[in-house]
Amino acid sequence: MQPKNTIDLFKEIFDSHQEYNGTVIEQHIQKLRELDVYLPPMESFFIVTNTTKQIYEFVSKNFEYALGLERELMNTMGAPYWFSHFHPDDLPIWMGVLEELMVFTMTEVPREERSKLNYTWNFRVRNSKGNYVNILEHQTPTYFDAAGKPVIGIAHCSIVGKDEQRPIIATIKKLNNNNEYETLYYKNHSQKLLEDNLSNREQDIIRLLALNNTSKQIGEKLFISSHTVDVHRKNILKKLDFDSVQELIQHCLVNQFF
């Protein structure tokens, strides 16, 4: 049976970091709540990362339940302990992903808008049983250095598969004035996929369709007409060679395109 104190991940992170209340971080975390129905809560956990010090300032209790790894070693050993569990094929790709995302952030996103960003990527880690599992991570920056570079962030991680090799895909999304994400960057850092032919706008529409939004709702969230959404939907189906939106949505859910 799942321990009671690991159920409400969101309450735990706000209890530990009350400074997030009433900030843009709360808006980002609300977006994660919307994914609750799709991301298994008992296999999810929060980590607060400090890239400057290479430590983890907070690791939620569910980390041990989900992976069987030690929170204490995450706190004391930091990045060397966590990275030692990454799949050796994924780690160098993932490091390259982080570098490219930071270059994009520092050159393409105005400094005043960087707190609205959310980064998503995936990788495999080895659990306490010696088995690799796939992790989907959503990270939001919470603190920036003097140059405006994100150095502390809150990461929401979920186990979304077993040891199957998946392409490492990275995205950068930004909250718009409706508190909805719009894609700024999307790249498959492994083999090519059909999804690579989609525009950033089409990626947003796929994500919102998977979250059960109608064309009208999507249009309102993205400040476009429902007619434009419908045109995008038809183009997406054609590009991905699907016959129906239901088939598209199922594909999104299985592959965790969030």
pLDDT digits (tens, 9 = 90+) for 9-44: 778 887 888 888 888 888 888 888 887 767 766 789
Could you tell me if 38 and 107 lie in one domain? yes
Q: Last residue of some domain: 159, 191, 223?
A: 191
Could you tell me if 142 and 184 lie in one domain? yes
Q: Last residue of some domain: 157, 191, 225?
A: 191
Return the structure tokens found at 68. 């069987």
Return the structure tokens found at 229. 């959404």
- Of residues 45, 42, 121, 40, the one with CA closest to residue 86: 121
Q: What is the CATH number of the domain that holds 165?
A: 3.30.450.20
Residue located via tokens 């949505």: 249
Q: Last residue of some domain: 191, 217, 248?
A: 191
> pLDDT (tens digit, 9 = 90+) per residue, 170-191?
999 999 999 999 999 998 888 6
Query: Domain range holding 206?
Result: 193-258
Could you tell me if 254 and 140 lie in one domain? no
> pLDDT (tens digit, 9 = 90+) per residue, 78-121?
999 999 999 999 999 999 999 999 999 999 999 999 999 999 99
Return the structure tokens found at 108. 């393409």
Q: Kindly state the average pLDDT of the residues 160-176.
A: 88
Do 31 and 118 touch, CB atoms closer than 8 A? yes
Q: CA quadruple 190, 105, 76, 17: dihedral positive or negative? A: negative
- Of residues 101, 12, 17, the one with CA closest to residue 63: 12
Could you tell me if 227 and 171 lie in one domain? no
Residues 104 and 155: their CA atoms lie apart, in Å, by 19
- The per-residue pLDDT of the chain, averaged, comes to 87
- pTM, two decimal places: 0.85
Residues 25 and 152: their CA atoms lie apart, in Å, by 12
DSSP string, 102-131: HHHHHHHS-GGGGGGEEEEEEEEEE-TTS-
Could you tell me if 26 and 103 lie in one domain? yes
Residues 66 and 69: their CA atoms lie apart, in Å, by 8
Residues 17 and 3: their CA atoms lie apart, in Å, by 22
Could you tell me if 95 and 9 lie in one domain? yes
Q: What is the CATH number of the domain that holds 203?
A: 1.10.10.10
